[in-house]
Amino acid sequence: MSFGGSGPGADAGRPDSGQQARVLISVDGLSKEYASRTGPISALESLDFTISEHEFVSVIGPSGCGKSTLIRLMVGLAAPDAGEVRFGGAALTAASAPALRRRMGYVIQDGGLFPHMRARDNVTVMARHLGWDRARIDARLADLARLTAFPEDGLGRYPAQLSGGQRQRVSLMRALMLEPDVLLLDEPLGALDPMIRFELQGELRDIFQSLGKTVVLVTHDIGEAGYFGDTIVLMRDGAIVQAGTIAELIDRPAEPFVERFITAQRGLIQALEERR
């Protein structure tokens, strides 16, 4: 990942930066405002960064800092007020978004499954829309069920008949169905109970490693970000405060906020360590 600025968030000199890695996504001067009764809310303020192929980026920050807005703009579900997102060199516009979006798997915060469709139909809806034949759909679905350890008999159930962990597996299968180049996951584990969450974290990491895809994972948990991500992007109030490895954020915080954010979560981790 590389950043437009030359501040502490810039990654000049990092061994994995440089020309060899192909840039897959670039975000340039990206800004977004929402209208509200009390006037416009600035959700993103001129963000600049690039993500290379096969990079794993975690986006973290307090609730309301703009994480979901950033992902929605990156998948072309909302339009920026200024700046642009480029995907594989092509600008994401209202016209190009439908085709480019097929190369991105998006797991919406809270899963976003269609409640009136069975798991199988949720996963295959786009492939059917695109006219894939039955045999190809069934083969891909079987591969995905195996990959995500989803029970075959669950494919005939509606989302309300599945557990939280199973619903997230369905969301992940749906995002992977069209073999996207990049996966963007918005707090995919946020609503799960801690045991299931822990189990899925391990499984997801194995899945991501085996796929070798570019992944952008939104979380509000720095432990999760460090567990998954090569690069962590810490946001606050619509801006990037610091980007780097977990070690860089801990050892060289760009501002006091970084330290406070880490310390607030580290307290929990330390308490857990002491009980071992």
Note the residues at the interface with ligand ADP (CB under 6 A). Answer: 34, 36, 41, 43, 61, 63-69
In this chain, which residue has its C-beta nearest to Mg ion?
Answer: 68
To the nearest whole angstrom, how small is the minimum distance from the Cβ of residue 195 to Mg ion? Answer: 23
For Mg ion, give the closer residue by CB, 155 or 218.
218
Q: Which residues make Cβ contacts (< 8 Å) with residue 92, sequence separation at least 6?
A: 74, 76, 84, 85, 86, 100
Question: Kind and range of the H or E element at 210?
Answer: helix 194-211
For ligand ADP, give the closer residue by CB, 92 or 233.
233
The footprint of Mg ion (CB under 5 A) covers: 67-68
To the nearest whole angstrom, how small is the minimum distance from the Cβ of residue 83 to ligand ADP? Answer: 16
Strand order across the beta sheet in which 82-87 lies: 2-3, 41-52, 23-34, 82-87, 90-91
**Concatenated DSSP letters for 253-269?**
-SSHHHHHHHHHHHHHH
Neighbours of 98 (CB within 10 A): 9
- Residue 65, contacted partner among Mg ion, ligand ADP, none, CB below 5-8 A by kind: ligand ADP
CA-based Rg of the chain, rounded to a whole angstrom?
19
To the nearest whole angstrom, how small is the minimum distance from the Cβ of residue 34 to ligand ADP? Answer: 3
For Mg ion, give the closer residue by CB, 150 or 261.
261
For Mg ion, give the closer residue by CB, 27 or 43.
43
Amino acid in the structure at residue 108 = I
Question: What is the token pair recorded at 262?
Answer: 């880490």
- Residue 210, contacted partner among Mg ion, ligand ADP, none, CB below 5-8 A by kind: none
